[in-house]
Structure 1
Amino acid sequence: MDVERVADDVGNPGRLVHIERPEDWAACSECGVISTSVRQRRTTRPRDLPYGQETLGVRWHKRQFACKEVLCARKAFTESIAEIPPRARVTGRLCRAVARQVASGRSVAAVSREYTVGWPLVHRHFAACADALLIEPEAPRVLGIDETRRGRPKWIKSEVIGRWARTELFEINFVDLSGSGALLGQAAGRTGKAVVDWLNARGEDWRSQVRFVAIDPAACYRTVIRQALPHATIVVDHFHLVALANKALTGVRQRVTREHRGRRGRATDPEWANRRRLLRGRERLSERTFTRMWNDLIDHEPTGQILTAWVAKEELRALLACAREQAPRSVSLTGCFGSCRGAPIPASAS
């Protein structure tokens, strides 16, 4: 690439560099046949790194060549170089620079503002830089699988079929639960096929080392894990177990209120006023708050079902905490089962 001339950028505090290729020929990007027949000339304005404290504008005077190959589907093509691919609006060194800035610890938004480029561009090139440095993680003994929603939907045009398609709103996360809890990988979507494809890509040796798989209560995940990891034991993760316990507690509170008062709960009802405290962990309640909640329900809820459901939920949390603290589970398991078995709650209602 030759620099034709350098001039002051009129209206901007910087320089303007005019460049062009010295060769009077180019190879077709479709068939590779060299052509010297120029059809027209055009000028592009790719973004580039600043020159010191000043901006640096680039004007590339390009030529469009006619492809002389009869069997080639592309009749015309425009010259390009590796640093500025076809239809590129930024140079390669600018892309590498923003990726290095994010890798150094800066946020994507800050780098995007400094170089006045789009947030998606900075994130895309940083992700590509990170993918080149990442290594295949070691197989965990306990594998955690769950899905999360990411941002808002976007529409992207497929380069293969030329149709617009909406980006996937959910992604499946694979986490090492036996070690530091590090994120092992992600897969777009929340289907069983996405889980199987990700696991199969790891290889047979990697999958054989997984002994336990923690998932949410999803039938599709359970089915595909039994196929991809038939030797692994499937367990439900603690978060969703506690969420189910809180849901059951809320159901008991609402049912008791309807049966006892003949209506929905109101702000003047002690069980409704304490609804959020009931869902909070015991260790997160002060002694004053806990005493007030307990006494309110003892005095105004004669059946005792709400407090019984709350005690069962706390016993379940204590049982699950044994896994983190590596404590004996026999006492907690007995207490949890005892709270549930002796509860004055109809089995059909709980």
Structure 2
Amino acid sequence: MADTTFTAADLTTFLGLEALGLRAVGQRLQDDGAVVECRLAVSLEDPFCRVCGAQGVAVGTVSRRLAHLPVGWRPTQLVVRLRRFSCAPCRRVWRQDAARVAAKRSRLTWSAVDWGMRALGAEFMSVSRIAKALGVAWHTANSSILSRAQQVLLEDPGRLEGVEVIGVDEHAWRHTARGDRYVTVVIDLTPVRTGTGPARLLDMVPGRSKRALKDWLEGQDEAFRHRIEVVAMDAFTGFKSAAAQALPDATEVMDPFHVVALAGDKLDRTRQRLQRQTTGRRGRKNDPLYKARRLLRTGAGLLTDKAWDRLEGVFADERHAAVEATWSAYQRIIAAYRAKTPAAGKALMTKIIDTLGTGVPQALGELAELGRTLRKRRHDILAYFDHPHASNGPTEAINGRLEHLRGIALGFRNLTHYTTRSLIHAGGFRKKLLHP
């Protein structure tokens, strides 16, 4: 008696050919994969001439070879037999319409392209590995998948809906001397503010200038520009000018990371200047200031008793007074961002800006420069405490993911490909790819 839990083998169902309108009629197994012969059902429109409307006569078949879903990571190729028809009055010859199976002139079925998109965007596979699994050339897989991604994911008219908070930053997309290495990345920070998900990449703009960001913002529709409430950015004044001109109603916020980094840079420059003044050379491993370079950049709340003793030993030297003063300002800025409440942090930062904005001795040149910058960007810095979720931290995190993407691909030479791959990789499409 037959086992009732099994049915006869059905290659059509196993390979998911029904969705393409195909029926498997034969197979040939090879060492490097499988070849499956298929038939495409004849539709009511296929036999009729599209010029005169007369019914054509069947005049044989023509085969089209297409890569399909890999089975067990072994390539599967479909040999699709398409019927040919001839129209006597028009002397036209045509074949069945295979648009349901694959795009015109494509070497991949729609199912294979969608599988490649999921592998690329959801499983973070390389194009080389996808091409090998499909049994096609790298350029064939890459062009088909990216074209499909452009249509399905990136040209979605609703992709920019609901965006209220954005972050902008520069990103080095390649590390070569030839050509422009930088792009401006635009990040959607709205999900971070609302707590509905992670930030996502919205777009990449060639260049890192005021013009690059302004052109992109002005290229969006008016409804999008009116929705933007906050723009988070670093200290680059070009981004601020672009946002102020293209989004006059939005609030510009200078990211805390870059404010702290700016103060830390002034601390490093002060230490290096004093190192040269006191020793006549650059720092060496046994020099007190050089040995304390990392310790000086550590937050005061993280210092151990041993670390405090080392710092006090450095500050005990009167020649290091400028380092101590700059270090104190650096720590106060960190403390403002670590305050228990935004109101308390804003009060501390206001006091710091007012103190450093005037009356800094000439001997503290780096600290005076810091004070001028803080005073110039006062409103942007203090705006963070009114919008504490408008941080460029998620923007930097996405930059890190893009670095990982470049590592997977072993680098990029084509910016269009890199932009599309980046949007698939970090544009919030993973959930859509896994659950279409």
TM-score after normalising by structure 1: 0.68
Superposed CA offset, 1:150-179 (max 9, x none): 4678xxxxxxxxxxxx89752422333754
2:149 matched to 1:149? no
Task: Give the equivalent residue in structure 2 for 1:275.
Answer: 293
- Show the counterpart of 1:319: 336
What is the CA deviation profile of residues 174-225 of structure 1, one whole-angstrom value per residue up to 9, with x for unaligned ones?
Answer: 3337544733622322343442344335433443344443322323323322
Q: What SS does the aligned partner of 2:105 have?
A: coil
- SS of the residue aligned with 1:221? helix
Q: Name the CA shift for 1:63/1:86 in 2 (closer, same or farther; >3 Å).
A: farther
Shift of 1:80: 6.9
Structure 2 counterpart SS, 1:48: strand
* Partner deviation per Cα, 1:49-98 (whole Å, 9 max, x = no partner): 2468975322357899xxxxxxxxxxxx9997323223322111122234
Structure 2 residue aligned with 1:156: none
1:149 shift after superposition: 3.0
Change (3 A) 1:95 1:285: farther
In 1: Cα distance, 2:175 partner to 2:108 partner: 26
Range 306-315 or range 321-330, more displaced: 321-330
* Aligned-partner Cα distance in 2 for 1:303–1:53: 65
TM-superposed deviation, 1:242: 1.6
Letter in 2 for 1:240: H
The answer (yes or no) to whether the contact 2:184–2:213 under 8 Å persists in 1 is no
Partner SS, residue 16 of structure 1 = strand
Offset of residue 315 of structure 1: 1.1
Alpha-carbon distance in 2 for matches of 1:258, 1:134:
57
Q: Provide, for residues 121-175 of structure 1, a one-character-per-residue CA deviation record: whole Å limited to 9, x for no partner.
A: 66765675444495433242x543222234678xxxxxxxxxxxx8975242233
Preserved contact between residue 33 and residue 76 of structure 2 (Cα < 8 Å): no
Instruction: Give the letter aligned to residue 323 of structure 2.
Output: I
Question: Is this contact kept in 1: 2:264–2:330, CA < 8 A?
Answer: yes
Q: Distance in 2 between matches of 1:122 and 1:215?
A: 33
Counterpart mapping for 1:93-242 below 5 A: 93-99=111-117, 106-109=123-126, 116-117=133-134, 120=142, 125=148, 129-131=152-154, 132=156, 135-140=159-164, 142-150=165-173, 170-176=183-189, 178-180=193-195, 182-183=199-200, 185-189=202-206, 190-242=208-260
Deviating more after overlay: 15-24 vs 203-212: 15-24
Q: Where in structure 2 are the equivalents of 1:306-345 lying within 5 Å?
A: 306-322=323-339, 325-327=342-344, 329-335=346-352, 337-338=354-355
* Matches of 2:241 and 2:117, distance apart in 1: 40
In 2, Cα distance between equivalents of 1:215 and 1:313: 20
* Counterpart-to-counterpart distance in 2, 1:152 and 1:197: 25
Is contact 2:163–2:188 with CA below 8 Å preserved after alignment? no
How well do the aligned residues superpose, as a CA RMSD in angstroms? Answer: 4.6
- The answer to whether the 8 Å contact 2:75/2:133 transfers is no
**Contact persistence 1:45–1:60 (CA under 8 A):** yes
Stretches of structure 2 that go unaligned for 5 or more consecutive residues are: 1-20, 85-93, 368-436
Is 2:69 aligned against 1:49?
Answer: yes
Q: Is the 8 A contact 1:312 1:336 kept in 2?
A: no
Structure 1 residue 102, shift from structure 2 partner: 6.9
Cα distance between partner residues in 1 of 2:49 and 2:295: 73
Question: Residue 69 of structure 1 corresponds to which residue in structure 2?
Answer: none
Rounded Cα–Cα distance in structure 1 between residues aligned with 2:72 and 2:366: 72
CA contact (8 A) 2:25 2:37 kept: yes
CA distance in 1, matches of 2:201, 2:71: 40
Q: TM-score, normalised by structure 2?
A: 0.57
Q: Aligned residues, how many?
A: 316
Tell me what 1:260 maps to: 278
Task: State the Cα distance separating 1:339 from its structure 2 match.
Answer: 6.6
**Higher helix proportion:** 2
Task: Tell me, yes or no, if the aligned pair for 2:187 and 2:201 is still in contact at 8 Å.
Answer: yes
Note closer, same or farther for the CA distance 1:281–1:87 as it changes in structure 2 (3 Å cut). Answer: farther
Percent pairwise identity:
21
1:215 touches 1:237 (CA, 8 Å); kept in 2?
yes
Local SS of the residue matching 1:200: helix
